[in-house]
A and B are shown apart, each in its own frame.
Chain A
Amino acid sequence: MIDVRSLRRLGTSMRDGLRGLRQAPLVFLMSVSTMAAGLLMLSAYLLVVQNMRTVLETAGADLTLVAFLTPGEPDEAVVADLAARFGGIDSVDSVTFVSRERALSRLREDLGSEATILEDMRENPLPASFEIQLIPEARTPEGVRRVASRLAEADGVDDVRYGEAWVEGYARVLRALEWIGAGFGGCLMLVLAVIVAGTVRLAVYARSDEIQIQRLVGAGGLFVRLPFYLEGALQGATGAGTALLLLWLAFSSALPSAGEAVQLLLGRAAPSFFGVTEIIALILLGAGLGVGGSVLSLVYIEESP
């Protein structure tokens, strides 16, 4: 049960944490710099992965599955039946029938001045097709593959195309990067927590007299530990904030001169920085790492008399 006195104790304990920072600003600064360096690496990596994911999403939005019908003029009843079948698939957003004539006229438009090469043809070589677009949730490599196989099963469908090699290859690279990021990020976070633990331990040694006296006059374990947790959280959050600021500066200053490389990686997708949610999440991650480090270094305080 939290009563007024406990809340006041909490307030005092937090003030003690800020007092600790004022007493040893250099240690705080060193720890923040180390945290910032580590989190800069991590957030830069996450930014690359985030942008690559955007590419996949952009590709997904443009993605059209094309189901080519067997050569020859399709029967109207077959077309109506297939349109109804394809439209009934859960993940399908829209179904458009492209007749052989429409396909040919599109080809003419695409060829422009070179369309004359088509004049020698005695008959239209293009098959009729259905163009199918998916709902946003289904625009994943797995979702696309699932719908493609349903389309291919239908009678009257000769072939299904959706640029599968590119989509799946890119998704594989992205997945690998995410896994590498998880491993690399995990190791980095552990290292950062240990660094904070070391810094907090220094602060504990520096303030061991104070801790001893507080305990002698009746301070509970939480009252003693809370200032250090707060200190760790502030170190982590400030480190993360600094890392994000540096990354943003690098992002906005390097982007204009790295246009071609970025385009090669991202294609038509515009490079973007973290949104508010990601920024808050990274700052909270920094704070969490700081608290984790403090917990690591303070375990023994509970046992001392």
Chain B
Amino acid sequence: MIQMYHVDMRYAGGAFGLRDVSLHVERGEFVFLTGASGAGKTSLLRLLFAAEAPSAGQVLVSGRNLSRLSSSQVPQLRREIGVIFQDFKLLGERTVFENVAVTLEIAGASRREIRARVWSILKRLGLGHRLDHRPRALSGGEQQRVAIARALVNDPPLVLADEPTGNLDPDLARDIMDIIADAHARGTTVIVATHDPTLLERYRHRLLVLEGGALVQDNAPDSYPGSVRRAVSTSA
């Protein structure tokens, strides 16, 4: 699903976002990306949905080489990726229903399909009674669930989540992770960036550790018993 070969990413000022990162993520895999703030987690995710371009190396997502992707091909790539942000990025003037429907509208779905799918996912995520509310009327956990519904409503083959539980209390964080895990169980490839060791210990998936933009550890799910906190704190 994802292949990266010796990827560097530099920001406009010359600072490195990523340094010589190479990795493979198989279709249907669940991968945690961890590291301290500024380690490159967000940079890596932004690279995968073509919000940033690599300065060197090759990035392939679903067989597409992102270095060769023209600007007109980027929207099609993004329609196949569900992105969940820490700050939710919801449209304040639109209702919960409309926020989730955006993804399907942009994909060109029919109104009937939009109604059915948005209703179905919001009901599944426990927001069936919030369809007509604006985001500001919702709690943080509910807002994040709307953002997740928007990312998943199109059944994308790949989901990228950047600190999806960052602003939530532990119980809500667990709820959110359960929803993402449920999407993974239905075959979606998932990459979650987090620096929350509790989540990493609880869910036990492949764990990539970034430090200063470089990939310093690639742990299989069963190869880091008890070392999660150490891995995260070392990189911090």
Interface stretch of the complex, out of A1-9, A109-117, A181-189, A292-300 = A1-9
* A78 interface contact, C-beta 8 A: no
Contact A9 B108 (CB under 8 A): yes
Interface 9-residue window, one of A193-201, A217-225, A229-237, A265-273: A217-225
Docked Cα-Cα span, A9 to B79, in Å, equals 13
Is A210 part of the contact surface with B, judged by Cβ < 8 Å? yes
Within 8 A of B (CB), among A17-61: 23
Q: What 1/0 mask marks residues of chain B from 48 to 67 whose CB sits below 8 Å from any chain A CB?
A: 01111000000000000000
Residues in A whose Cβ lies below 8 Å from that of B105 = 8-9, 12
**Which chain A positions have C-beta within 8 A of B216?**
none
Question: Residue-by-residue, is B96-128 near A (CB-CB < 8 Å gives 1, otherwise 0)?
Answer: 000000110111111000000000000000000
C-alpha gap A215/B50 in the complex (Å): 11
Q: Which B138-160 residues have a C-beta within 8 angstroms of A?
A: 150
Give the interface residue-count category, chain A.
20 to 34
**Residue A254 at the chain B interface, CB threshold 8 Å:** no
Partner among A215, A217, A221 whose Cβ is within 8 Å of the Cβ of B103: A217
| Mask: chain A, 83-116; 1 = CB below 8 Å from B; 0 = not | 0000000000000000000000000000000000
Segment 275-305 of A: residues with Cβ below 8 Å from B: 302, 305
Which residues does chain B contribute within 8 Å of A214, judged by CB atoms? 102, 106
With A212-B89, A305-B51 known as contacts, the answer to whether A217 contacts B110 (CB < 8 A) is: no
Tell me the complex Cα distance, A216–B102, Å: 11
**Total A-B contacts with CB atoms under 8 angstroms apart:** 65
Contact B91 A219 (CB under 8 A): no
Taking the complex as formed, is A213 at the interface, i.e. its CB lies under 8 A from any CB of chain B? yes
| A209 close to B (CB within 8 Å) | yes
* A9 CA / B111 CA spacing, docked (Å): 11
Nearest B-chain residue to A5, judged by Cβ = B108
Contact call B72/A9, Cβ cutoff below 8 A: no
Beta-carbon contact of B78 and A218 below 8 Å: yes
Q: Which residues of A contact B77 (CB under 8 A)?
A: 218
Indicate if the CB atoms of B91 and A210 lie closer than 8 Å.
yes
> How many angstroms between the C-alpha atoms of A209 and B88 in the bound complex?
12
B71 in contact with A217 (CB, 8 Å) = no
Task: Report whether over half of chain B's contact residues are helix, strand or loop; otherwise say mixed.
Answer: loop
Which chain B residues lie closer than 8 Å to A3 at the CB level?
108
Give the interface SS of chain A, mostly helix, strand, loop or mixed: helix
Contact of B72 among A216, A218, A220 (CB under 8 A): A220
Q: Which residue of B lies closest to A223 (CB)?
A: B106
Q: Which residues of A contact B78 (CB under 8 A)?
A: 215-218
A213: B residues at CB distance < 8 A: 89-91, 102
Please provide the chain A residues from 48 to 85 with a CB less than 8 Å away from any CB of chain B in the complex.
none
Interface 0/1 of B13-24, CB less than 8 Å to A: 000000000000
Known: A8-B110, A9-B108, A217-B83. A305 touches B103 (CB 8 A): no
Quick one: which of A214, A217, A221 has the most chain B CB within 10 A? Answer: A217
Residue pair B102, A217 in contact (C-beta under 8 Å): yes
Would A209 and B103 count as touching, CB distance under 8 A? Answer: no
Q: For A8, list chain B residues within 8 Å (CB).
A: 105, 108-110
- A209-B91, A210-B91, A212-B89 given; A217·B150 CB < 8 A: yes
* Contact between A6 and B79, CB atoms less than 8 A apart: no
From A12, which residue of chain B is reached at the shortest CB distance?
Answer: B105
**Chain A nearest CB: distance from B48 CB in Å?**
12
Q: Is the CB of B106 within 8 A of A217?
A: yes
- Are the CB atoms of B75 and A218 closer together than 8 Å? yes
Q: Which residues of A contact B227 (CB under 8 A)?
A: none
8 A-B pairs with C-beta separation under 8 A: A6-B108, A7-B108, A210-B93, A213-B89, A213-B102, A217-B83, A218-B79, A221-B75
Residues of A within 8 A of B (CB): 3-9, 12, 23, 209-210, 212-221, 223, 302, 305
B interface vs A, CB < 8 Å? 49-52, 71-72, 75-80, 83, 89-93, 102-103, 105-110, 150
**New A-B contacts (6) at CB < 8 Å, excluding given A5-B107, A209-B91:** A5-B108, A8-B105, A212-B89, A216-B83, A217-B102, A219-B106
